[in-house]
Chain A
Amino acid sequence: MTRFLVGRLLLLVVGLLVASIIVFATLRVLPGDVAQVVAGTQSTPAQVEQLRQQLGLDRPVVVQYLDWITGVLRGDLGRSLVTNGAVGPEIAEKLAVTLPLAGMSLVAALLVGVPLGVLAAVLRRRAGGAVIGFLAQAVAAVPVVWAGMLLIALFAVTLHWLPTQGFPLDGWGEPARAFSSLVLPALTIGAVEGAVILRFTRSATLSVLDADHVRTAAAVGLTRTQALLRHGLPSVALTVLAVLGVQIAGLLVGAVVVEQLFSLPGVGRMLVTDVGRRDVTKVQSELLVLTGLVLLVGFAVDVVHRALDPRQREVGE
């Protein structure tokens, strides 16, 4: 286990390093001059030059990179090129929306995907199983924007149960209001990602239904349901966990579109805005934070999976 941990940790660190280099390098080949963009079209060449020195853009790219990355390691994500506001605190503030949204979406996706997936597998020879399988296929193909629109049309416009869009200005000051404004966005991501989890759960359960140990358990006196619940589901759970490593990345990234649709002040919406403004220093830190989260989740899921799966244990562990 120690060897596995060290190796996986190394991959995580190298991954973060590669991510930071790719993001930084890509943004620095920007066609057009960052200083020129910031200064605007009305500026004189002298002003642009002064701005370039002020922003440190005249230094070698490697120095600029090291400057940024040492700052990041100390917790300083730099300043916006456009507003000169500190990037770190702003991202932290937006994460207070994005992370709860991702968490709620995950819960919704699991609540939709796992029970229905098991059910679809158990009912494989009946109409019910086919219907669930068909619906999962259909929902997984729906663009998130449209899924969100349908939910808004149903729950906000027609039934008036939930707010359509927006987030309370005072953030989590009133937890109930903040929570209710995240329900529809979370359901939107949860439905689409849940459909994907459903299909994995179904296929994992199918292979477990015919597994020798489950059949034996049923043969020695357990009902088929007991056999499945006690001896089959642990391995299904492991498959779902493995899928989650990838799906949680999907949830975080899905937030980019959903935050825009529901006007939520999260990191995804911040990224979209800053990409539009070409605020390079903000974009590079936002992308690093988001990919960092994705890589961290992947790492955590791998470690948990490894710790739980008896088939992966080494001799003597």
Chain B
Amino acid sequence: MIRRLLTRPTGCFAVVVLGLLVVLALVSLVWTPQDPFRADPFRQWAPPGPAHWFGTDASGRDIASYLLAGTRTTVLVAAGSGVVASVVGIVLTAVGSLTTRWVREGTAVLLDILVAFPTLLTAMLLTAVFGGSLGIVVVSVGLSFGVTIARVARGEIRRIARSDYVVAARASGVGPLGVLTRHLVPNAAPLFTVQLSLAMATAVLAEAGLSYLGYGAGSDTASWGNLLADLQTYIGVHPWSATWPGAAIALVVAALSLLGDAVRDATDPRLTTGDRAARGTAATDRTAGTPGPGGDRAPDADDPATTTPGVTA
């Protein structure tokens, strides 16, 4: 599977960008070209050069060092959101499929309702209560995607459980645990991975959006969102300065959503080679299970309908 992932150009791009991001985050722990927070009143708005690779900002901070230090925040927010989404998703899926009938039906209706709540509004609600922080970004993105994962998984599990091979396995004496580990988990895993990578992409955008609104990373934390927000104030004078953080965020978000597409294409046995070629890049839309063309409310793995409520950052 890994090899199939790397032979696709999109998969290769995604793995390289994300690998680089993690390496840079580790490097920033021990070394940055300069102190990312040191303001230098004599070096405001220095152009990019050997001393300051990406130039300096309004207070004379070295943009390259600040961006490098910010990779840590990006990695933490993305990974944290992924973990929360997995835990919430797995718990909700378990409750939705292993409990009594009434609880299952209730969970199904609740998921249908919760999936419509936009991530950003969840974040604003939590911010009104607890004040802004990176934790809010992680929790609200994690909750939103946990719900999405559980909802998508419900349809998928129902489909797999009714499939011929599971019926055959049952008939030949495989117990519920065997069906779970041998058929359900491996078949649902790609879908899960796709949603996780989308959750992480959304988290990176959400960090930028909420930091811009003043409710994300504190000013003592180096984050790409904070840098974007700072540079936005000088848009009239230095309109192009925000290119660095803007492009960095876009690159990572694109890599994460391409990773999801590539994983799905590389693991879905129902896609023939021709389909793969034709499909190329599929969508990262922004919310859950969009009704497929057939209008079936259960999201279909083939449909690029997967996603993120508009935390349009």
- Report A's interface with B, CB cutoff 8 A: 11, 14-15, 18-19, 22-23, 26-27, 29-31, 124, 130, 133-134, 136-138, 140-146, 149-150, 152-153, 157-158, 164, 189, 192-193, 196, 199-200, 203-204, 206-207, 235, 238-239, 242-243, 245-247, 249-254, 256-258, 260-261, 271-272, 274-276, 278, 280, 283, 287, 290-291, 294-295, 298, 302, 305-306, 309, 311-312
Contacts and interface: CB of A to CB of B under 8 A. Distances in A.
B129 A26 contact: yes
Given A23-B125, A141-B201, A157-B239, A239 B212 contact: no
Nearest to A241: B291
Interface residues of B, number: 69
Contacts, number: 230
Given A206-B278, A243-B285, A253-B309, A287 B235 contact: no
Contacts of A290: 118, 121
B212 A145 contact: yes
Nearest to A210: B278
Contacts of A204: 293
B250 interface: yes
A253 B120 CA distance: 7
A204 B291 CA distance: 13
B240 interface: yes
B128 to A, nearest CB: 5
Interface of B: 109-110, 112-114, 116-118, 120-121, 124-130, 201, 205, 208-209, 212-215, 225, 228-229, 231-232, 235-236, 239-240, 242, 245-246, 249-251, 253-254, 257-258, 278-288, 290-295, 304-305, 307, 309-313
Most buried by B among A23, A136, A153: A153
A14 B109 contact: yes
Contacts of B293: 204, 207, 235, 238-239, 242
A152 B239 contact: yes
Contacts of A130: 280
A145 B208 contact: yes
B142 to A, nearest CB: 16
A61 to B, nearest CB: 15
B129 A143 contact: no
A18 B113 contact: yes
